[in-house]
Structure 1
Amino acid sequence: MSHNIVYPFLLLFVLLTCAITVSSDDLEVKVLLKFKGYLSNATALDDWNKTDTLCNGNDSNWKGLVCYNGQFTGLQLKGMGLGGTIDLDSLAQLPMLLTLSVMNNNFAGQFPGDLKKLSRLRGLYLANNRFSGEIPDDVFSGMKSVRRVLMGNNEFTSKIPMSLLELPRLAELQLQNNQFEGRIPDFWQENLTVNFANNKLEGPIPTTLRNQDKSSFSGNNLCGEPLDKCTKKSILKIALFVAIAVAVPLAFIVASSFIFSRCLKPQELEKTAEIYEKESTISKGEISKNNEQGEFYFVRNDRERFELEELLRASAEVLGSGSFGSSYKAVLYNGQRFVVKRFRQMSSLRKKEFYEHMRKLGKLSHPNLLPLVAFYYTKEEKLLVSDFAEHGSLASHLHGKQSPQQLALDWPTRLKIIKGVAKGLAYLHKELPTLTLPHGHLKSSNVLLNNTYEPLLADYALAPVINKEHAQQFMVAYKSPESTQNESLTRKTDAWNLGILILELLTGRFPTNYLKQGRGDNADLAAWIKSVIREEWTGEVFDKEMNPTRNGESQMMRLLKIGMCCCEWDVEKRWDLNEAVEKIGELKERDWDDDFSSYASEGDMDSRAITNEGFAFSVTGQ
């Protein structure tokens, strides 16, 4: 090609490049000047003018701009006495905006607006202003790049936005000196530093944050490490959080008195029960005719009955707060212990249908199900009363801080647990043939352990009574591939969750996608499964707390393959629950005669089960 042809193309390329650069600079200048127009007392920004380019290398020609390699990347407007409006609509036109800082100014009023428009934002710094009011719960949804959020020393109210749990890179969160209320969410991000001091927060500090400095939680009604233990006295401070708001004030008094019975003096408690008794008598096992006052109803005939006022006199201890509601341990005067769980997301069914479903659950009886004993009904809220499990949840044993008295779960115990889980699931699928999700919420925190470490399934068969939107946000069935891909669920969805539970039980690793709201992020889930099977297929793939030995390692490998067969993405290829239960039932604590070769002829459970290649088919189809 001749130079006469090349040069015009080079010239055209240079001109186009310059034109693009100028166009980009012009756009940023125009946007920033528009943004400035919404500010008040902006004399500190008088050097913002059309004649200057924004950046010179890493230096800014305009005050308050952050530059990198000649590119504008952020606003750092600290301590300039600014007020007015932060126009996010303008800033959304700046695709490279990574940092927004307006700390130490005079901004007031509501949260600036729809923050999600700043899709690439890494740092948000609003501290030391006079912002007030509620922050939308979904304000950070989808903002995967956010690392730092500093909003301390304002007047924000309401609960801490749950969408903060969706930020995988979050490293620093400062919300001190506001009026945030409610419970601290269960933050899961590693190496996260927080400051929640001087708010109106209540309840136990999440175990994932107990390595923080105690000053980060001072000035609240919080308990648990690094603060004092959650004694009954400290638990009862969380009145607003656990108060049951019902339609009629009298019912409110009754329900609140139950939760906070230890807050009242004995004579005051007796008086409350006496007032209730005069207004409405609830007979054992019968439904009150007054539908507005809340009804306490037994669904089992094999339990010693007690009156509602006996619950009012019972001591109450907070066990935890999950995606469905808060749980309390209630000890009656005769020593009977029950778990009372509070639900506020159960208004999807009419009263008659709700009662019918609860009676159906009350008829279920299996050694591996936590029995539902009774429930308390109002239109807006429900209490479900169940038996108490002595040794807490499987999740607390796998992932919690073990006490000196708590034994590690060895392989025989874990095999016992998974066999019991499988039997309980099989029973649910048999007894509830019309339900798509006979369980629907199977996870390690819903597997409780009795005094002999026999597993008890909890929170089962609640999909029909949980509001659909809430179920889609929190139920683990909606983390399955079929939910994400086709927005459909099948009876094999429970098998998927069983597979995840098996992998969690064997590896000791928590499936972090369960912490995310909404339908499952199966790319993360599949990556987790593949990391266990493909990248880390060594002798240490199993949780060391199991104390695996050669006598049982082949059996553990067989269980691992069962888990993978249950986690098959293609629903058609995935094992159904009956097949998984049958294979789990065949497992032993140890290999026969120290020789796993005797299994090589058992169909699909062949010798490939102990090789990396034997699992490859289970993680395809993405």
Structure 2
Amino acid sequence: MAPSGAPWVPIIFIIINIIMINHLVVPSSAASETELLLKFKESLQDNNKLSSWNESSSPCGEKSHWVGVLCYNGKIWGLKLENMGLKGTVDVYSLKELSNLRTLSFMNNDFEGSWPEFHALIGLKTLYISNNKFSGEIPGETFQGMQWLKKLHLSNNQFTSSIPTSLILLPRLMELRMENNKFTGNIPKLSQKTLKSFNVANNRLHGQIPATLSHMPPSSFAGNEGLCGAPLEACPSNKPSTISIVVVAVVVGVAVIVIVLVIFMLNRRKQQSSASLENPASTPQRKSHAKDLDDASVRSASSASTHSRRGDTMKLTFIKDDREKFDLTELLRASAEILGSGCYSSSYKASMGNGPMMVVKRFKAMNNVGREEFQEHMRRIGRLKHPNLLPLVAYYYRREEKLLVTDFVQNGSLAVRLHAYQGLGQPSLDWPTRLKIVKGIAKGLEFLYREMPSLIAPHGNLKSSNVLLTESFEPLLNDYGLAPVVNQELAHDIMSIYKSPEYVQNGRVTKKTDVWTLGVLILETLTGKFPANFLHQGKSKEEDLPKWVLSISPEEWPNKVFDKEMGSTRNSDGEMVKLLKIGLGCCEADMDKRWDLKEAVEKIQEVKERENDDDFYSTYSEADMKSRRGLSDEINF
């Protein structure tokens, strides 16, 4: 029997090995979670309270004693690290790899510093960080992608600036606790029917409480002297008070007296002039004294009249002191030329007499922004200085509209030079100029990412119409950093980042979304075609640029893809192809495959005007391109 049974022995061993391999899959996954939590632990100070976290056991094993780790079906479901005196940095990106993480609580610890990027944990349902020392601004767009978030507790920290308006986009929000911070501005119009618990007491909020929150108890709004409306006392009406009426009456009375005085002095001067003709003996000294008095009276009347007419409401706020100052009245009197007009903003060129030409951009999509929030953000933008950024000169705040004032750039926008140059009688942009422009755009975008790290999309609205060109064709980025002050309910119709694949498909904006807009802009610059993504609020039936480029074989790119008006220089086709591939890498629909900004900028700066290398198409094989084209058919950019 032994010989006949011998052939079955290897089969038995194979079956045993298969069973053992299948069982080894779970420990491999558990080891990965162990590594992630230990990496997270390393970012903390005074972490001896987490001594039970070690490599000798897995977080969710049968005999696991990892303190604060919540498990379900062998996977990490939550972390409850409360009352431990923890300090240091919250390594969000280690936690991001825990795909089953749904709840996070760091309450009653000693964490401090700016807002950790918890918004990267898009699967969270509850986030508790109350009773710490977190401080600074929470960017307005922070919660855009956190569609599952139900409970958010931020109370008893030191957060400043305005309450993030992206909270209105959380469809499942049930609890929002933000009391005992330093939040300023208005309360966003939260209208979620799921919201049961709400508290913003003891902040620095002002304005009318949204009607959708009027059913909340008064204690939810206590300690904010500037708040009014139900359930607190009614907001004051717009009818003038007795004091204001008296003040106006006094001002008008003074103005009348000044005017009468001016008329009297002018008549007196006229009489003196007539007397001097009849009596030449009048002394020159007396005439001089009368003239000085008359001039002083006129100046006094003019000053009083101007102050009464303008007041503080007509003042522009200038970013820097070294600029020539003018007020809104002078700006409105200047000869103006409309540069562009849309549903949400309009641009005008204003000629300031013998002074500089300015551009005034009027925004209608910022009327939910409080004065303090708007001013603080404008100061933040005003501090930015880079050769490829158009500096903000001044701004004007009024509740109903906002004005941004910049210098006029003579050469116009990249959009005009790409798509309307013939109608304006201008030459097309050649290849070296387009490469120079793309490199400058990349440098400006890299600077924004470095200087404004708290913003998810530091530019937010990168497109050819927001790239201006100097006389030497150096690009200047415009309309950057405005995402936090644009009304969230209108933002998806206005800003280019909301045309991205991740937002269209999942309602998300990430650190790579600006990279997607950079990629589309590169393709637009090389092809001369306008991106369909930005036409008709992204609903154009035209084929979008990335998909169109991928539909064409790489060997045919020089003849079928590149703008014929761009021309080429000797041995430049290979470099043009390199830049085109960089554009495709930047606007990859799959964010995991999309390049990050640092990699994109490095690759762009390596592109030259010409090269001797004839192997232009080595990066993408034909099979690879077919694979990418198939992916494009499945995923609509």
* Paired position in structure 2 for 1:489: 509
1:531 and 2:548 are equivalent in the alignment: yes
- Mapped contact 1:564–1:615 kept (Cα < 8 A): no
Which of 390, 405, 420 aligns to 1:385? It is 405
In structure 2, do the counterparts of structure 1 residues 323 and 480 end up closer, same or farther at CA, with 3 Å as the change threshold? farther
Gaps of 5+ in 2: 1-237, 241-301
Measure, in 2, the Cα distance between the counterparts of 1:302 and 1:402. 39
* Paired position in structure 2 for 1:565: 585
* Paired position in structure 2 for 1:278: 307
Measure, in 1, the Cα distance between the counterparts of 2:438 and 2:502. 24
The aligned amino acid for 1:453 is F
In structure 2, do the counterparts of structure 1 residues 451 and 274 end up closer, same or farther at CA, with 3 Å as the change threshold? farther
Which of 401, 408, 419 aligns to 1:399? It is 419
- Mapped contact 2:499–2:534 kept (Cα < 8 A): yes
Measure, in 1, the Cα distance between the counterparts of 2:433 and 2:342. 26
Structure 1 window deviating more from structure 2 (463-472 vs 398-407): it is 398-407
Which of 502, 508, 514 aligns to 2:522? It is 502
The aligned amino acid for 2:410 is E
1:304 to partner: Cα distance = 2.3
1:349 to partner: Cα distance = 2.1
* Paired position in structure 2 for 1:595: 613
Measure, in 2, the Cα distance between the counterparts of 1:612 and 1:531. 17
Which of 342, 345, 352 aligns to 1:325? It is 345
- The correspondence of residues 166-177 of structure 1 with structure 2, limited to 5 A, is none
Which of 300, 304, 316 aligns to 2:320? It is 300
Task: Encode CA deviations 1:569-590: one digit per residue, 9 max, x unaligned.
Answer: 1112111111101100001011
* Paired position in structure 1 for 2:118: none
Measure, in 1, the Cα distance between the counterparts of 2:542 and 2:506. 18
Q: Could you say what the CA RMSD is over the residues aligned between the two structures, in angstroms?
A: 3.0
Measure, in 1, the Cα distance between the counterparts of 2:622 and 2:371. 54
Measure, in 1, the Cα distance between the counterparts of 2:478 and 2:333. 26
* Paired position in structure 1 for 2:575: 555
Which of 345, 352, 355 aligns to 1:335? It is 355
Gaps of 5+ in 1: 1-245, 249-272, 283-287, 600-605
* Paired position in structure 1 for 2:442: 422
Measure, in 2, the Cα distance between the counterparts of 1:588 and 1:247. 67
The aligned amino acid for 2:547 is K
Query: Any idea what SS the aligned residue of 2:367 has?
Result: coil
The aligned amino acid for 2:338 is V
Query: Any idea what SS the aligned residue of 2:422 has?
Result: coil
The aligned amino acid for 2:387 is P
Task: Encode CA deviations 1:473-531: one digit per residue, 9 max, x unaligned.
Answer: 121111001101110100110000000001111111111231222xx4599665x4222
Which of 444, 447, 459 aligns to 1:439? It is 459
Which of 502, 521, 534 aligns to 1:514? It is 534
- Mapped contact 1:343–1:383 kept (Cα < 8 A): yes
1:550 to partner: Cα distance = 5.0
* Paired position in structure 1 for 2:489: 469
Measure, in 2, the Cα distance between the counterparts of 1:560 and 1:612. 18
* Paired position in structure 2 for 1:149: none
* Paired position in structure 1 for 2:141: none
In structure 2, do the counterparts of structure 1 residues 403 and 514 end up closer, same or farther at CA, with 3 Å as the change threshold? closer
1:448 and 2:468 are equivalent in the alignment: yes
Measure, in 2, the Cα distance between the counterparts of 1:346 and 1:315. 26
In structure 2, do the counterparts of structure 1 residues 530 and 312 end up closer, same or farther at CA, with 3 Å as the change threshold? closer
1:409 to partner: Cα distance = 0.2
Task: Encode CA deviations 1:295-348: one digit per residue, 9 max, x unaligned.
Answer: 411112342222333323321111111454111111112230110011111122
* Paired position in structure 1 for 2:429: 409
Measure, in 1, the Cα distance between the counterparts of 2:363 and 2:304. 26
Measure, in 2, the Cα distance between the counterparts of 1:276 and 1:611. 76
* Paired position in structure 2 for 1:61: none
In structure 2, do the counterparts of structure 1 residues 590 and 334 end up closer, same or farther at CA, with 3 Å as the change threshold? same
The aligned amino acid for 2:551 is R
Measure, in 2, the Cα distance between the counterparts of 1:542 and 1:276. 61
Over the matched positions of the two proteins, sequence identity in percent amounts to 53
Measure, in 2, the Cα distance between the counterparts of 1:569 and 1:276. 60
* Paired position in structure 1 for 2:274: none
The aligned amino acid for 1:397 is R
- Mapped contact 2:348–2:359 kept (Cα < 8 A): yes
- Number of residue pairs aligned between Structure 1 and Structure 2: 334
- The correspondence of residues 20-59 of structure 1 with structure 2, limited to 5 A, is none
- Mapped contact 1:533–1:612 kept (Cα < 8 A): no
1:544 to partner: Cα distance = 0.5
Task: Encode CA deviations 1:27-51: one digit per residue, 9 max, x unaligned.
Answer: xxxxxxxxxxxxxxxxxxxxxxxxx
- Mapped contact 2:550–2:625 kept (Cα < 8 A): no
Give the TM-score normalised by the residue count of structure 1: 0.50
Measure, in 1, the Cα distance between the counterparts of 2:552 and 2:325. 55
- Mapped contact 1:295–1:378 kept (Cα < 8 A): no
Measure, in 2, the Cα distance between the counterparts of 1:274 and 1:405. 48
- Mapped contact 2:443–2:601 kept (Cα < 8 A): yes
Measure, in 2, the Cα distance between the counterparts of 1:489 and 1:275. 52
1:400 to partner: Cα distance = 1.1
1:276 to partner: Cα distance = 6.9
- Mapped contact 2:366–2:487 kept (Cα < 8 A): yes
- Mapped contact 2:347–2:359 kept (Cα < 8 A): yes
Query: Any idea what SS the aligned residue of 1:385 has?
Result: strand
* Paired position in structure 1 for 2:618: 607
- Mapped contact 2:553–2:625 kept (Cα < 8 A): no
Measure, in 1, the Cα distance between the counterparts of 2:492 and 2:304. 41
Which of 610, 617, 620 aligns to 2:628? It is 617
* Paired position in structure 1 for 2:244: none
- Mapped contact 1:479–1:522 kept (Cα < 8 A): no
* Paired position in structure 1 for 2:392: 372
